[in-house]
Structure 1
Amino acid sequence: MQPKTKAITAAVTGSALGVAGLAWLAMPATAGEAPQLPPVSAEELVQSVLTTKTPALNGTVDVENNLGLPVSSLPDGTSLDIDGARVLGDGAGNSKLSVEQGANERTVVRNGNTVWSYDSSDNTATKLTVPAEALQQQSGEFEVSDPATAATQLLAKVRESSTVTVEGTARVAGRAAYEMVLTPKPTERTLLREVRVAVDAEQRVPLRLAVMTYGTADPAFQVAFSDIAFAPQPASEFQFTPPQGAKVTEEQAPAQTPDREAAKDALTTTGDGWDTVVTGTFPAESLQPQQDGRGESVDPQALLAQFGKPVSGAFGTGYVITTKVVTALVTDDGRFAAGAVPEQVLIDALGAK
């Protein structure tokens, strides 16, 4: 069965300030003869990616999602069935993301210290104003991600626990690129075999991110620009005016984020690099029957039983949900652990009840 190919973009992140995001998922490389490029060492390529600032750009992204996630049944009504996307940036922090889902469109625009998000499905818009101090402290939380940002952040996180090589060249979105491969070191306990990053030979910006697992030559997921232009973008692209009749909500982000420490306490990471595991606790009400965004009744416990495998151990009882790249364990008392790791790593991370 061929995996469904869709287009998707990424996200304004920033959970501490309540800015929702989408995650980049992927596409196959653009076909074409491999270009002839000057040799480059792995370390030189890594350093150039980590130190290069993404320039102004305008691009689209196509998605090949082969994760096997039950996206049609997410409890909050969210769907990853995305039909088209466009991302723009001015190279100075302003950005725009437009995502099509059927007849609906979601748009996120950042202009200076203002972030607009709009959903055409219910004609609602949110204007978030972020004080300058918060932008200086947490600038990354207000960026719109793209394949370049996603790959750079991943590279920074796993490079120390990886063997990095350069394996030939490729063409992605019509541009010449180096193929960089990150392989987990033998000490890493992970489901992933390798991550491949296609780096633009001229701009040194990642154009494609592909995640590979064991037992198959096909990526579990990839993310790439299907077309891209590195060029100045009109300032008008980063201006947003809510459509006629839209319900507008205005929010002010705090200059300081006092709940950041609380968030750190609520979410804990164990391990580093490839075998990082995130653990935490769901609010008690989140596991109770509720209505989703479409007004339909959803029972999270029933969904866990449907898609998960019952497990028990020192941590208590619960369910494990496994995809090609991620394993998640949710206990009956509301604790959870998740990572790109085998089930036993999650059990070890949860410890005793």
Structure 2
Amino acid sequence: MAPNDSAETNGGTRGTAAGRRKAARYIVPVAVAGVAAATIGLVPALASSGDPDLPKIGAQELIEKIAASDTEQLSGTVKISTDLGIPSLGGLAESFAPGGAGGDGGKGGSSAHPQERMTELASGTHTLRIAADGPDKQRLSILDNASEYSLIHNGDQVWAYDSKSDQAYHATEKQAGKDAGRDAGKKSGHPVPEGVPTTPKALAEQVLKAAGPTTSVTVDGTAQVAGRDAYKLVVKPKQSGSTIGSVTVAVDAKSGVPLKFTLLPAAGGKAVVDAGFTEVDFAKPDASLFTFTPPKGTEVTEADDAKAQHKADKGLGDLIPGADAAQLGAGEPGAKNTKVIGEGWSAIAEITTPGATGLPSKASGDVPAEAQQFLDALGDKVTGKFGSGTVFKTRLVNALMTDDGKVYVGAVTKDALVKAANSAS
């Protein structure tokens, strides 16, 4: 099918301003792995059985179709593949996990904690099974060769269970980080930690909310995903300097539900993130999917206990000055230590770390050898009007941390970061 008509977004696209503000939340100091985890949720390309012949539809009309989609019941399998170009964390990841190596270390942490497990989606290929029955019942399972990790939301109860370690995590909806009450479920749509989209729909909504005058949106033919006919919505930056080349969303022609999401880098090569259904069913899921009772002998961690343990573990704060503070809101608009330079796809957040200190070094004895090795693998030394610093790279998000304690970060090139730092000096 030939490409359909196109539309360039403008101020009329709903949620534009809110989307830009939300984009700043991805901008945290070089917890690049954490930034990556907040921008994930995606899957390997799915085989197509031929492009279906569908009625023409305009870009704005297709966007409205997505927004109007009221599908609340579905189940299916999602394949997620993420290639952010981040070196393997190896033992470093375990050293910063709650409770030390293995995620618990006998210190009260839990390998079933959702925030810890969702970061796994920041790299590699994963198979997820998802199910939803309205705003109050969702289930997400990460499948492994011989184990399964499940996150279950039923009413005000949230359970997570890791079959490999036989550990469980339990919280009420409010403890899990949502607003209290039924409205929270409607807003979140799933029990996954805030900022970690895991379905094509969640990913598409984030991209479309951020769309504005700096964005080109077109309908580029059709596809078949998980046996269903779909339109392909293509979103591209009109600005230079972004690391994002394009985002393609396959939208179910009947329901308006996004079925597949693919983000290609401006530099070329395979997708940075690619997520899509391999199977999907819009019938009401079995009620048993949303019930959970810990098996006998399971170690259960309650949310309040996990929160206390998290406070005891400094995590990235020992490695990146101000990282913990940034993760707790430094990226929010209006934060005293943060401002946004530019707009749209080339927006860059400038963050002043508490104490205005740069990176610790191995020479100072502040950084373990394996941590320094990880930082060196990510970083390039740069200089400019601002002085000197280090650029930490992924295929999507890059961050410049200056030696005087400022961080410039966004989905932009290294040159764009240096330019921003120079202009702010």
Structure 1 and Structure 2 fold alike (TM over 0.5) = yes
CA contact (8 A) 2:168 2:294 kept: yes
Match in the other structure for 1:33: 50
- Post-superposition offset of 1:123: 2.8
Distance (whole Å) between structure 1 residues aligned to residue 188 and residue 348 of structure 2: 21
Q: Does 1:85 align with 2:128?
A: yes
CA contact (8 A) 2:128 2:143 kept: yes
- Post-superposition offset of 1:302: 2.7
Distance (whole Å) between structure 2 residues aligned to residue 283 and residue 116 of structure 1: 35
TM-score by length of 2: 0.65
1:322 pairs with one of 373, 376, 393: 393
1:106 pairs with one of 136, 149, 173: 149
- How many percent identity over aligned positions? 33
Q: Does 1:212 align with 2:264?
A: yes
Q: 1:151 is paired with a residue of what secondary structure?
A: helix
Higher RCO (CA-CA < 8 Å; seq separation 6+): 2
- Post-superposition offset of 1:57: 1.1
- Post-superposition offset of 1:175: 0.7
Match in the other structure for 2:67: 50
Equivalent pairs counted in the alignment come to 325
Higher-strand-fraction structure:
1
Q: 1:55 to 1:21 in 2, by over 3 A?
A: same
Match in the other structure for 1:201: 253
Q: Does 1:179 align with 2:222?
A: no
Q: 1:64 to 1:138 in 2, by over 3 A?
A: closer
Q: Does 1:170 align with 2:223?
A: yes
2:162 pairs with one of 119, 127, 130: 119
Q: 1:314 to 1:303 in 2, by over 3 A?
A: farther
Residue segments in structure 2 that go unaligned for 5+ positions in a row: 1-24, 27-36, 95-118, 193-197, 308-326, 362-367
What does 1:14-25 correspond to in 2, within 5 Å?
Answer: 23-25=40-42
- Post-superposition offset of 1:276: 3.1
Q: 1:84 is paired with a residue of what secondary structure?
A: strand
- Post-superposition offset of 1:178: 0.3
Higher-helix-fraction structure:
2
- Post-superposition offset of 1:137: 6.2
Q: 1:260 to 1:212 in 2, by over 3 A?
A: closer
Q: 2:180 is paired with a residue of what secondary structure?
A: helix
Q: Does 1:192 align with 2:209?
A: no
* Counterpart AA for 2:220: E
Q: C-alpha offsets along residues 40-93 of structure 1, whole Å, 9 cap, x if unaligned?
A: 111100111123234311111223444322234483246434543211111334
Q: C-alpha offsets along residues 103-139 of structure 1, whole Å, 9 cap, x if unaligned?
A: 4432211112222222334332221213485354685
- Post-superposition offset of 1:206: 0.7
Distance (whole Å) between structure 2 residues aligned to residue 337 and residue 104 of structure 1: 40
Distance (whole Å) between structure 2 residues aligned to residue 269 and residue 84 of structure 1: 36
RMSD value, Cα: 3.7
Q: Does 1:305 align with 2:376?
A: yes
CA contact (8 A) 1:159 1:182 kept: no
Distance (whole Å) between structure 2 residues aligned to residue 75 and residue 332 of structure 1: 23
Q: 1:82 to 1:209 in 2, by over 3 A?
A: closer
Distance (whole Å) between structure 2 residues aligned to residue 103 and residue 332 of structure 1: 46
- Post-superposition offset of 1:262: 6.6
Q: Does 1:156 align with 2:220?
A: no
Q: 1:237 to 1:55 in 2, by over 3 A?
A: same
Q: 1:127 to 1:270 in 2, by over 3 A?
A: farther
- Post-superposition offset of 1:220: 3.2
Q: 1:302 to 1:281 in 2, by over 3 A?
A: farther
Match in the other structure for 1:134: 180
